[in-house]
């Protein structure tokens, strides 16, 4: 079963005129300096950017190409970053179409995709068997965090289980701003990666379960620190699954007015000099949140915010989205190294972002090339500047 | 493809850069050309240097394998769709750029696209002043191979006019350099017509049938910053045509001139008018949209006044709406894609050049033919050189309706024949032009002799210029 209208999808795919603009366009006036991070960081065959992916998708759909794992590789070697959509001159959204193709063709074998979905359904996260451990960080913040309340901090699997520093920082910042907030006793996965990899039926089941748990907490507002959770909870739950979700805000959206009104005061930084902002695709291109994080960084006294060559709508991706990090880890890290080099080119000391997925991959990308740039989550940065 | 050949290719470029996978071959079976049948090649190879291209062509010659050079894959007339069993050589890894400021020239590898070069030159306040509507995807070498044109051509000509020399790998793998750089002691590219006949010209518009261009050297210019954008209205095509000719004759420096028939302009503005901020207006029967570009402001002032004088003298009036030419010019890297894709139709395109004095003839042939074949379409175009105007009628079809598509094909085929009779010329010999051409046997025979001499095995892009190939 799929939620996709196949005729509509085919009509949309037919809008691709195969111009190739989505490969490596440099369009200085609009800020593009290359488009597809996968094409740029792989051998460079046609199948490594959107034009080729669409041709493969059409051929798989109409039977010209056999539905094998190898033939479907190009559908998955894509971060769904949406840079192709940003520049495409035709009247359709190629990255969104590719996501739909993954759903329609999800009978094609793909062990990585299936394992992730299975783990999420079984364990409520894609990483560990014991989901309860994702709340362990709460013990280290020095104050109690209830499991119910009007403002819910939805931590997300990656911050909860892999980068707990971000979760702790967020708690400290919320506390400093005088916000009473809750963290679920046993938080589920939002299911983002299932949606992106085409396991939408499973994602729907997961979403219903997650929303039930959220509802039990009494939340009227959800704050997140993961761009993937944000897009999923804010957009996919309502638009795809018709679920009624409380207001969802990324912490950068939530904090900006608190900082501007003086409720949250930041002190001068002695160690941060030049800082650059990496736009997570799900926060920026997908939801148009570009200025809030920049305004926050500029509000830290002593910080010089510098922009990388590509930013905002034309920002190059970190490499970890769309399931690519699991599907082809080496490629994902290579893309991350490339992004780190963008930050090196402008002599940034720190690259800040607002997505644990980006942070995790960019850190690996920096290590891979021995870069000295510090990759940090914006919440970690703010928590150190609390007055 | 025979595994022995594949292994030889791998030995040249490495395993990662050769593919015979079905999905990859499928992606190379097509291009931006709409309404052309796809053809699967046997293998694809991505060389990184001229030497690797040379080694690959030696293998192709030894095993008599048809070869299709491919760059941006943005060509619109089926040129880059391979032959069955072909080896596609994807040239996008050839990415060097060398600027020679004192020589006012640049050399680019076959993988460099217009947008990339433009950004680099802009840093030095320079430009290559020809911008095809596909500048974000087309390579400069690919554009030389089709002798394309674009924004800027109204003043600077088709791309071929800017070429100073080429590095070419011949079908047998030999590497030659044309133009002043043929002298290994030359400081760089500075003169095309060096060392006798214009060998450079042989490869311009050649669609790759004589060899693979691995580097292109071109003239570059100081970037203009002073522009005048204006629209001029006329009651008849002839008045508009005279206006254009007189502007050129009086050394006005138009980097963009487009002549619009009223209904075509309405259609165009329906698509992008709002995007470009063009105000609502009762447009006259014929409108000329013109951008004058100059290095110095005093030159621009003088050109602006002269254009207005000529307009009135030829019976027209200055409309004064700047947003149309400004929108077109500012969006020059993408305008054609945007305006051609936004309406949702697919189309077959028919590039040709006419003289500005014959501008009305294409329109006169086109509309009745569209009615006759029951197809929809329109045309756009721009002044492309000293005395030529590049036209590109588009015949629309619904890609999901086979009958509609075959009507578009039939209309396209017939339009070529009729346009040839009006005196129109192609800038490259795409197959449908060869079909439509009569009365030119000696010329085509000479080309055929050249092809046989340079590519005796007929491996380079077979079928791309069918009329010049042997009988087999
Ligand atoms: C939206 C859109 C707008 C366009 N607007 C314009 C325009 O304004 N003006 C214009 O001129 N064209 C235009 N075109 C057509 C197209 O972009 C040009 O034909 C372009 O020059 C092709 O370059 P490419 O690198 O994509 O070449 P390809 O499509 O890869 O190849 C074109 C031809 O050249 C051969 N070839 C490619 N590279 C080499 C090489 N290095 N050596 C030898 N042969 C080679 C190929 O075999 C093929 O025959 C447009 C296309 C699109 C999609
Ligand atoms: S997805 Fe858009 S930009 Fe890419 S080839 Fe298709 S039409 Fe062109
Ligand atoms: S979504 Fe991003 S990674 Fe995927 S094809 Fe488009 S530009 Fe490339």
The domains of chain B are located at 3-90, 97-222, 226-334, 344-427, 437-472
Residues of B in contact with A21 (CB under 8 A): 134, 136-137, 334, 337
In tens, the pLDDT along B42-97 reads: 999 999 999 999 999 999 999 999 999 999 999 999 999 999 999 999 999 999 99
**Closest residue on chain A to B72 (Cα):** A20
At CB < 8 Å, which residues of chain A contact B? 10-11, 14-15, 17-21, 23-29, 32-33, 43-47, 51-52, 55-56, 59, 64-66, 70-74, 87, 89-91
To the nearest whole Å, the CA of A72 is away from the closest chain B CA by: 8
Cα→Cα distances B377→A281, A302, B64, B289, B369, Å: 38, 60, 42, 21, 11
Fold designation for B344-427? GMP Synthetase; Chain A, domain 3 (3.30.300)
Neighbours of B443 (CB within 10 A): 12
- State the DSSP H helix or E strand holding residue B392, giving kind and residue range, or none if neither: strand B389-397
Fold designation for B97-222? 3.30.465
Beta strands in chain A (DSSP E): 26-27, 32-33, 151-154, 221-224, 247-250, 274-277, 304-306, 350-353, 374-377
State residue B470's pLDDT score.
Answer: 62
State residue B431's pLDDT score.
Answer: 82
ipTM over 0.90: yes
Cβ of A19 less than 6 Å from ligand 2: yes
In tens, the pLDDT along B395-432 reads: 999 988 999 999 999 999 999 999 999 999 998 888 88
Cα→Cα distances A191→A133, A236, A241, Å: 18, 10, 12
pTM higher than 0.95: yes
In tens, the pLDDT along A155-188 reads: 999 999 999 999 999 999 999 999 999 999 999 9
Residues of B in contact with A29 (CB under 8 A): 330, 333
Fold designation for A265-383? Rossmann fold (3.40.50)
Which CATH number is A112-258's, of 2.30.29, 3.40.50, 1.10.10, 1.10.760? 3.40.50
Cα–Cα distance for residue pair A244/A237, rounded to 1 Å: 8
Cα–Cα distance for residue pair A333/A324, rounded to 1 Å: 10
Residue with the bigger pLDDT between B253 and A268: it is B253
CATH class of the B226-334 domain in this structure? alpha beta
Neighbours of A141 (CB within 10 A): 16
At CB < 8 Å, which residues of chain B contact A? 16-17, 19, 21-24, 26-34, 44, 46, 72-74, 90, 92-93, 113, 115-116, 118-119, 122, 134, 136-137, 330, 333-334, 337-338, 340-342, 344, 346, 399-400
In tens, the pLDDT along A303-324 reads: 999 999 999 999 999 999 999 9
Strand order in the sheet with B212-219: B97-100, B105-109, B212-219, B163-169, B175-177
- Ligand minimally distant from the alpha carbon of residue A93: 2
Q: Which of A26, A45, A72 sits opposite B116 (nearest CB)?
A: A26
For chain A, domain boundaries: 6-107, 112-258, 265-383
Answer for the pair A296, A252: CB distance below 8 angstroms, yes or no. yes
State residue B472's pLDDT score.
Answer: 43
Cα–Cα distance for residue pair B82/B91, rounded to 1 Å: 14
Q: What is the torsion angle, in degrees rounded to the nearest 10, for the CA atoms of residue A293, residue A295, residue A296 and residue A300?
A: 140
- Domain A6-107 identical in fold to domain A112-258: no
Residue B382 in this model has a pLDDT that exceeds 70: yes
Q: What is the mean pLDDT of residues A346-367?
A: 97
Annotate A50-81 with DSSP letters as a single string: HHHHHHHHHHHHHTSS---TTTTHHHHS----
Which CATH number is B3-90's, of 3.40.718.10, 3.40.50.2300, 3.30.43.10, 3.40.50.11810? 3.30.43.10
Give the residue from A52, A36, A41, A27 showing the smallest Cα distance to A84: A36
Distance B68 CA to ligand 3 centre (A): 27
| % of chain B exceeding 90 in pLDDT | 90
Ligand 1 site: residues with CB under 6 angstroms?
A 19; B 31-32, 68-76, 79-80, 91, 110, 132-134, 138-139, 141-143, 145-146, 148-150, 207-208, 212-213, 336-337, 340, 461, 464
State residue A1's pLDDT score.
Answer: 54
Q: What is the mean pLDDT of residues B252-275?
A: 95
Residue A269 in this model has a pLDDT that exceeds 90: no
- For ligand 3, atom 7, the nearest C-alpha belongs to A36
Q: Which of B72, B136, B341 sits opposite A27 (nearest CB)?
A: B136
> Which two three-digit tokens encode residue A188?
């589920």
Cα→Cα distances A244→A248, A282, B24, B218, Å: 11, 21, 43, 60
Distance B36 CA to ligand 2 centre (A): 17
Q: To which residue do tokens 């000696």 refer? A: B442
Cα→Cα distances A161→A130, A157, A166, Å: 10, 6, 11
In tens, the pLDDT along B95-104 reads: 999 999 999 9
To the nearest whole Å, the CA of A256 is away from the closest chain B CA by: 32
Residue A44 in this model has a pLDDT that exceeds 70: yes
> Which two three-digit tokens encode residue B34?
């709409």
Residue B234 in this model has a pLDDT that exceeds 60: yes
- State the DSSP H helix or E strand holding residue B402, giving kind and residue range, or none if neither: helix B402-422
Cα–Cα distance for residue pair B227/A329, rounded to 1 Å: 50
- State the DSSP H helix or E strand holding residue B149, giving kind and residue range, or none if neither: none
Distance B353 CA to ligand 1 centre (A): 17
State residue A12's pLDDT score.
Answer: 96
CATH class of the A6-107 domain in this structure? mainly alpha
| Rama region for A64: left / alpha / beta (φ>0; ψ in -120 to 50; rest) | alpha
Residues of B in contact with A59 (CB under 8 A): 23, 26
Residues of B in contact with A65 (CB under 8 A): 22-23, 26
Residues of B in contact with A91 (CB under 8 A): 341-342, 344
DSSP for residue B393: E
CB–CB of A18 and B30 under 8 A? yes
Contacts of B58 (CB under 8 A, 6+ apart): B172, B173
| Rama region for A267: left / alpha / beta (φ>0; ψ in -120 to 50; rest) | beta
In tens, the pLDDT along A193-223 reads: 999 999 999 999 999 999 999 999 999 999 9
In tens, the pLDDT along A65-98 reads: 999 999 999 999 999 999 999 999 999 999 999 9
- For ligand 2, atom 2, the nearest C-alpha belongs to A88
Interface probe for B, chosen from A9, A14, A22, A25 (most Cβ of B below 10 Å), is A25
- CA B366 to the chain's CA centroid: 21
State residue A327's pLDDT score.
Answer: 96
């Amino acid at each position: 079963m799929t939620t996709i209208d196949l005729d509509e999808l085919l009509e949309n795919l037919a809008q691709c005129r195969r111009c190739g603009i989505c490969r490596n366009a440099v369009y200085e006036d609009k800020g593009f300096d290359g488009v597809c991070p996968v094409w740029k960081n792989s051998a460079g065959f046609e199948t490594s950017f959107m034009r080729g992916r669409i041709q493969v998708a059409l051929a798989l759909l109409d039977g010209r190409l056999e539905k094998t794992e190898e033939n479907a590789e190009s559908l998955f070697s894509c971060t769904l970053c949406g840079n192709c959509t940003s520049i495409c001159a035709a009247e359709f959204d190629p990255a969104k179409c590719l996501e739909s193709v993954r759903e329609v063709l999800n009978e094609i074998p793909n062990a990585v995709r299936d394992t992730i979905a299975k783990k999420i359904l079984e364990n409520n996260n894609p990483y560990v068997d014991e989901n309860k451990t994702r709340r362990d960080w709460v013990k280290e913040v020095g104050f109690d965090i209830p499991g119910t309340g009007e403002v819910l901090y939805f931590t997300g699997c990656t911050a909860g289980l892999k980068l707990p520093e971000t979760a702790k920082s967020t708690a400290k910042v919320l506390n400093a701003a005088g916000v009473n907030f809750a963290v679920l006793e046993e938080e589920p996965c939002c299911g983002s990666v299932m949606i992106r990899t085409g396991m939408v039926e499973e994602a729907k089941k997961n979403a219903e379960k997650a929303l039930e748990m959220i509802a039990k907490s009494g939340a009227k507002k959800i704050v997140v620190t993961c761009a993937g959770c944000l897009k999923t909870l804010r957009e996919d739950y309502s638009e795809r699954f018709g679920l009624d979700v409380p207001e969802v805000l990324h912490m950068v959206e939530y904090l900006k007015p608190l900082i501007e009104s003086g409720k949250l005061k930041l002190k001068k930084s002695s160690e941060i000099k030049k800082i650059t902002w990496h736009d997570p695709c799900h926060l920026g291109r997908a939801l148009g949140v570009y200025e809030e994080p920049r305004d926050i960084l500029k509000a830290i006294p002593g910080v010089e915010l510098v922009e990388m060559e590509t930013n905002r709508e034309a920002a190059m991706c970190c490499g970890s989205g769309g399931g690519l990090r699991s599907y082809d880890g080496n490629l994902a890290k290579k893309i991350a190294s490339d992004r780190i080099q963008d930050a090196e080119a402008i002599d940034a000391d720190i690259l800040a972002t607002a997505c644990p997925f980006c942070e995790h991959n960019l850190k690996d990308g920096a290590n891979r090339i021995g870069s000295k740039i510090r990759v940090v989550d914006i919440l970690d940065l703010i928590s150190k500047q609390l007055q | 493809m025979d595994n022995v050949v594949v292994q030889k290719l791998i030995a040249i470029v490495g395993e990662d850069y050769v593919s015979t996978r079905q999905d990859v071959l499928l992606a190379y079976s097509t291009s931006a050309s709409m309404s052309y049948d796809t053809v699967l090649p046997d293998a694809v190879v991505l060389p990184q240097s001229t030497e690797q291209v040379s080694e690959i062509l030696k293998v192709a010659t030894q095993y008599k394998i048809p070869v299709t050079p491919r760059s941006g894959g943005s060509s619109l007339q089926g040129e880059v769709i391979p032959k069955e069993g072909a080896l596609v050589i994807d040239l996008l890894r050839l990415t060097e750029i060398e600027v020679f400021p004192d020589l006012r020239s640049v050399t680019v590898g076959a993988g460099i696209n217009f947008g990339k070069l433009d950004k680099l030159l802009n840093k030095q306040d320079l430009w290559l002043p020809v911008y095809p509507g596909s500048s974000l995807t087309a390579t400069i070498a690919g554009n030389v191979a089709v002798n394309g044109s674009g924004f800027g051509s109204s003043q600077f000509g088709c791309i071929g006019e800017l070429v100073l020399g080429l590095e070419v790998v011949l079908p047998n793998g030999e590497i030659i350099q044309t133009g002043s750089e043929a002298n290994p002691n030359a400081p760089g590219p500075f003169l095309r017509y060096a060392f006798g006949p214009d060998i450079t010209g042989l490869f311009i518009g050649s669609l790759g049938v004589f060899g693979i261009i691995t580097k292109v050297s071109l003239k570059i210019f100081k970037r203009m910053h002073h522009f005048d954008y204006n629209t001029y209205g006329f009651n008849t095509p002839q008045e508009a045509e005279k206006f254009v000719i007189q502007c050129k004759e009086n050394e006005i420096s138009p980097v963009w001139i487009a002549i619009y028939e009223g209904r075509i302009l309405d259609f165009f503005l329906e698509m992008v008018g709002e995007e470009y901020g063009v105000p609502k207006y009762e447009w006259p029967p014929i409108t000329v949209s013109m951008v004058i570009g100059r290095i110095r402001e005093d030159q621009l002032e003088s050109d602006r006044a002269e254009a207005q004088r000529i307009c009135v003298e030829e019976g027209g009036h200055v409309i004064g709406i700047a947003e149309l030419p400004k929108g077109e010019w500012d969006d020059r890297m993408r305008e054609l894609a945007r305006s051609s894709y936004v309406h949702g139709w697919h189309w077959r395109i028919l590039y040709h050049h006419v003289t500005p004095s014959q501008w009305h003839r294409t329109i006169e042939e086109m509309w009745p033919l569209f009615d006759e074949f029951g197809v929809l379409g329109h045309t756009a175009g721009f002044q492309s050189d000293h005395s030529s105007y590049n036209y590109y009628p588009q015949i629309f079809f619904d890609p999901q309706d086979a009958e509609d598509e075959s009507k578009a094909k039939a209309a396209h085929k017939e339009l070529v024949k009729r346009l040839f009779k009006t005196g129109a010329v192609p800038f490259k010999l795409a197959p449908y032009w060869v079909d439509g051409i009569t009365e030119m046997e000696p010329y085509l025979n000479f080309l055929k002799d050249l092809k046989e001499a340079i590519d005796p095995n007929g491996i380079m892009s077979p079928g791309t210029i069918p009329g010049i190939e042997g009988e087999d």
